[in-house]
Amino acid sequence: MVVTESYKDILNLFVNSFSKYGMKRSMAEILATLFLEPEPLCMEGLAKRTNYSISMISNTIKAIERFGILEQKRIPGDKKTYYLMEKNLFKFIQTFMKFKLNNEIMPVNKELPNLITNYQQETKTLSKKNKEEAKKRVSQLNKTLCFYNNLERFMKLMTQAKEEDLKKILDMHEKMIKW
């Protein structure tokens, strides 16, 4: 593959974009390479393109696979495993959102109400001053829970929507703003 300066700039744009999600630069670079590559790549191909070691590529691939955005491919007659990344950004973002929803948002929504209740029970015997502080904390925790509930609803909507639905929602939103 011929790597031009313009291609390096494009790759760097996506590396920086992916890095903003808190990824290490190595992971972002491997993701960007897979995203921009039209054909599946094996670990050796990724190592060649990124200048990372096979062990670094292997560990990074394992971490990326947790998000569900990589597809493994086999080529008949070749023992290597090839990797292909989702190219549709809408599906890519939906998959990432599902991961966040299932691993971060929903567990908080499930556990936080009981934790708030337990906290309220524990603070019943506190002094008046400490009870007031606890009451403020409970109020803030309830606001946080409300936000998480709304976030869960939004993310479920987004992860179940089709790309055309999103366009309709955005069009409706623009009309509401103008109205």
- The whole domain housing 138 covers 89-178
What does the pLDDT read at residue 49? 92
Domain count, the chain: 2
Same domain, 109 and 38: no
Same domain, 17 and 67: yes
Same domain, 81 and 116: no
Whichever domain contains 47, its CATH number is: 1.10.10.10
- Residue range 158-172: mean pLDDT, rounded: 88
| Strand-by-strand arrangement of the 81-85 sheet | 41-42, 81-85, 70-74
Helix (H) or strand (E) holding 73: strand 70-74
pLDDT surpasses 90 at 147: yes
Which of 24, 58, 85 delimits the end of a domain? 85
Q: Is the pTM of this model over 0.85?
A: no
Q: Which residue has the tokens 């567990």?
A: 107
Same domain, 64 and 45: yes
Same domain, 97 and 174: yes
What's the chain's average pLDDT?
91
What does the pLDDT read at residue 48? 94
d(CA 167, CA 54): 41
For 54, how many CA atoms within 13 A lie in the half-sphere containing its CB? 6
Q: Which of 1-10, 86-95, 133-142 has the highest mean pLDDT?
A: 133-142
DSSP string, 81-101: EEEEE---HHHHHHHHHHHHI
What does the pLDDT read at residue 3? 78
Same domain, 68 and 102: no
Same domain, 81 and 93: no
Which of 50, 85, 120 delimits the end of a domain? 85
Same domain, 151 and 121: yes
